[in-house]
Amino acid sequence: MPYEFRLPDIGEGVADGEVVQWFVKEGDTIQEDQPLVSVLTDKANVEIPSPKTGRIAKLHATVGEKVKVGGLLVTIEVAGAPAPGIFSPFPASHPPVAAPAAPPSPSVPPPATFPPAAAVVPATAPERVLASPYLRRLAAERGIDLAAVRGSGPGGRVTEEDLGRAGPGGATTPTAPTRAPPAPMASLSAPTPPAPSPPVPDAEIAERIPIRGVRRVIAEHMAEATHRAAHFTYVEEVDASELVRFRDRMAKHVEKQGIRLSYLPFVVKGVVAGLREHPRLNATVDDARSELLVRSKYHIGIATATPDGLTVPVVRNADTKSVTALAREIADLAERARAGKLARSELVGSTFTITSLGLLGGVMATPILNYPEVGILGVHKIQRRPVYRADGTIGPADLMNLSISLDHRVVDGIDGAQFLSVVKAYLEDPHQLFAELA
């Protein structure tokens, strides 16, 4: 008998997932708990096992396709299987998503055999809902079906105002014709899509690379961040000469434990010190309520390059950890990020982000915010250069630049400058990083 397996609820706030890889093809035989499909959600790959033993009758989603929670993934022919239903291989932390039941039709008898997928879709396929990933998450949290919301934005795109007028299920709640108060932030509706580019002759195309998986998630997040936040960047030069000497002395002891000590743990400690003095930068924006949420914990995101693209694992409670503990955790997170083995919980919840290219750090950059955070710090390479000193002499110094991008809607330039001056002071005299913990 055919068994319909649908995408289970794989995490709080997850509304859909992108099929990254099928481990089977149609006609294959599969055993229960054997890997079936890999699904990407919020940059974390989730490997879903088969709920049944049987033969793969039909794959209902292709690689790169997004499937909503409760959406049909695969049909498995199972000997003596029960009626089609939903199986969730994950702990029931949330109520299971029920498959939509077909309305009874007494005049039409049920078919004798399981119909092909094409026979059960509506005559008119539903149009794709135009909404940002943020609005999709918000709709999922409020139990709103975006397909039932009438979008008022360009091209029918759903806006936050549309979502606010929709009740559970997506029905639009009528509103009185009163004058709306002025919005405290810039309009959040999406810009008009650009005109299509002229076609490129096939002879001039060296390779076609599908934008999918982590790369597509990155693209969506970057577009959302640049559309919503008003970016500005401030750059400061740091004399890291004492930091270089201090790190070299400390590394001799730390590396005996098998831990490579980079400059990044010191930067994390400096950032935490700066956030303590300027807590408005340790915050996220709730655009739905037009509120700045100042956070009480210091969860620092560390942007990490992986073969699939940039990910941001999170060092939680960074203020409570020593330089050695930070070095160990950052190395572990980076290694598992490059191997694609991070859990979703390790990729969410950061309150401020640091991005560094290490030896390839360049002179300066304008980092894009890890929305909805309000600040991200770019760390650039340390270079020895001659400097003119206050006593009139010229001598060598290890200099580096720090560049901070902030959301100008909620943070002013003076805030960024004052914050970076604190970080600069701690890095120029790293002994303070230990004295301030006393």
Q: From CA 253, how far away is CA 309, in angstroms rounded?
A: 34
Rg (CA), the chain: 26
Look up 287 and say whether it is catalytic.
Answer: no
Half-sphere exposure of 146 (CA within 13 A, CB side): 26
Per the residue annotation, which of 248, 286, 412, 431 is the catalytic one?
412
Strands 300-306, 352-356: pairing kind: parallel
Q: How many CB atoms lie within 10 A of CB 123?
A: 4
Distances from the Cα of 313 to the Cαs of 44, 149, 345, in angstroms? 10, 34, 9
Listed residue (235, 248, 271, 246) closest to 425, CA to CA: 271
> Residue 224: what are its φ and ψ, rounded to 5°?
-65, -40
How many angstroms separate the CA atoms of 363 and 361, rounded?
Answer: 7
Angle at 130 between CA 124 and CA 135, to 5 degrees: 130
Which tokens sit at 210? Answer: 């599908």
Tokens of 120: 């059960």
Catalytic residue among 42, 408, 429, 431: 408
Q: Is 213 exposed, middle or buried (0-12, 13-18, 19+ CB in 10 A)?
A: buried
412 an active-site residue? yes
The contacts of residue 120 (CB under 8 Å, 6+ apart) are none
CA atoms in the 13 A half-sphere facing the CB of 249: 7
Q: Which residues are catalytic?
A: 408, 412
